[in-house]
Amino acid sequence: MTKNDQTTIRQRFGRAIRRRRRGLDISQEKLAELAELHRTYISEIERGEVNPSLETIDRLAKALDTSIAQLFADYSIG
């Protein structure tokens, strides 16, 4: 079993969002504002507690100045 098998896709996605956000040096509050989402929802996503919709994933990618495909590729989500 590989490390990716031990974590859920939600957890891997959440970690990718957090890493990208931190790489851009923006707060959860700023990301929430840019993506037009609530800050607590950003926190839940980053902790892998929720399953964001495709629309939300698109909003996050745009707010993080990347594409969905690049986000998944750069952070080995798939």
Mean pLDDT for the stretch of residues 28-52: 97
- The token pair that represents 73 in the structure block: 């590729």
Say if residue 38's pLDDT is above 90. yes
| Residue range 52-61, pLDDT digits in tens | 999 999 999 9
Give whole-number Cα distances, 45 to 1, 2, 16, 75, in Å. 25, 23, 10, 15
